[in-house]
Amino acid sequence: MAVDLRGRHVLSLRDLTPEQILQLVETGYQLKLEHHRGQPHPLLGGKTLAMIFQKPSLRTRVSFEVGMGQLGGRAVYLGPDDIQLGKRETTEDIALVLSRYTDGIMARVFDHETVVELARHAQVPVINGLSQWVHPCQALGDFLTVWEKKRRFAGLKLVFLGDFNNVARSLIFGGLQLGVNVTIACPSEILDSKPPDEYDEVIEWAMENGPRHGAVLTICNRPKDAVQDADVVYTDVWESMGEKGTKTKDFFRPFQLNAELFRLAKPDAVILHCLPAVYDEELTYDVSRLPNSAIFDQAENRLHAQKAVMAMTMR
Ligand code: CP
Ligand code: NVA
């Protein structure tokens, strides 16, 4: 069955089917090849994307803006002080107004409910550029990177070290649907301190959906056991944006991705980090520069994966 995402919102990979996720990854891969061959792909000529940011960004902002340019369209940046979402104007009114000017809305927000609310009222596709709950565009770029390096998904072991956060959740929602076994290695003290809905719901989803795709989610508090024989080792900051000073970093220290821990993974394991990194906290600089590290491919792949998302939803 052909995959048709026209007019669809992309708020979480949980809402997509494995076929849709694969199609986005494959389209992103083709767009990357075309771009590297110097072949233009103006699939969204004359179209406009509104980009709402409640939080800072390097990759998301630049890759969406450049991506719209490569697709023949343009992007309008709306920073935290511009529209003051929910303060100067309601989210509903912003969605309705932007729908009259633009062909798509990308939003980076604090509460996931804000992108849900935008999508409820918008008459154009809404794309989640990171919420506290998930980071779906990141995971699409990540799976494009995994595809480039491993040429398969089924049966791979992806280990995520650190906080059970937005990036971890998106890797679970996308990974299990692609047949990737996902292990989250997170300190018990951190898991125990989280509101249960932040992970119970994910574990329930994984138990229900993983087996259908031949993949399992493992939650573990022993980083060395987790990394053993991994094909992909992924880490992210211990404190996400908006959480500064809320976590005891000492709990995370044994989960740092350093040379000693990485040695336990498969020799050809790929190192991933969504960036920005805090070197010598979750990741050592030397490990980030190993030949196994694909962190800058990953950053580039945001561009191509997101072009796939925009081209398929905003056409
Ligand atoms: N990985 C990522 O989303 O980076 P930015 O916060 O710089 O957009
Ligand atoms: N978990 C991080 C990802 C940054 C791209 C955060 O939310 O800050």
Which tokens sit at 146? 């995994």
For a mutational test of ligand 2's pocket, the pick from 137, 167, 272, i.e. the residue with the most ligand atoms closer than 8 A to its C-beta, is: 167
pLDDT in tens, 297-313: 999 999 999 999 999 99
What CATH number is given for 13-135+302-314 in this structure? 3.40.50.1370
Residue 303 CB burial class (10 angstroms; 0-12, 13-18, ≥19): buried
182 lines ligand 2 (CB under 6 A): no
Answer whether residue 1 shows pLDDT above 60.
Answer: no
pLDDT interval class at 22 (50, 70, 90): very high
236 lines ligand 2 (CB under 6 A): yes
- Which positions are catalytic? 108, 135, 138, 236, 274, 302
Please answer whether residues 277 and 283 qualify as being in contact, where contact means their C-beta atoms are separated by less than 8 angstroms.
yes
pLDDT at 244: 80
For a mutational test of ligand 2's pocket, the pick from 62, 130, 272, i.e. the residue with the most ligand atoms closer than 8 A to its C-beta, is: 130
pLDDT in tens, 35-93: 999 999 999 999 999 999 999 999 999 999 999 999 999 999 999 999 988 889 999 99
Mean pLDDT score of the chain? 96
Q: Rounded to whole angstroms, how far apart are CA atoms 55 and 117?
A: 18
Please answer whether residues 106 and 49 qualify as being in contact, where contact means their C-beta atoms are separated by less than 8 angstroms.
yes
Which residue bears the tokens 């995959």?
3
pLDDT in tens, 103-137: 999 999 999 999 999 999 999 999 999 999 999 99
- Residue ranges of domains in the chain: 13-135+302-314, 138-299
pLDDT interval class at 196 (50, 70, 90): confident
Q: Rounded to whole angstroms, how far apart are CA atoms 239 and 293?
A: 22
pLDDT interval class at 247 (50, 70, 90): confident
Mean pLDDT of the 129-151 span: 98
| Ligand 1, residues at Cβ distance < 6 Å | 57-60, 130, 138, 274-276
Domains 13-135+302-314 and 138-299 share a fold: yes
Ligand whose nearest atom lies closest to the CA of 132: 2
Q: Rounded to whole angstroms, how far apart are CA atoms 288 and 268?
A: 14
Tell me the H-state helices in 194-290. Answer: 200-209, 223-227, 259-262, 285-288
pLDDT at 289: 98
Percent pLDDT > 90 in the chain is 92
Q: From start to end of the chain, where are the E strands?
A: 48-53, 74-78, 104-108, 126-128, 157-161, 181-185, 217-220, 232-235, 270-273
In this structure, the number of other CB atoms found within 10 A of the CB of residue 260 comes to 11
Ligand whose nearest atom lies closest to the CA of 303: 1
Answer whether residue 246 shows pLDDT above 80.
Answer: no
pLDDT at 97: 98
54 lines ligand 2 (CB under 6 A): no
pLDDT in tens, 118-127: 999 999 999 9
In this structure, the number of other CB atoms found within 10 A of the CB of residue 211 comes to 11
- Classify domain 138-299 by CATH architecture: 3-Layer(aba) Sandwich (3.40)
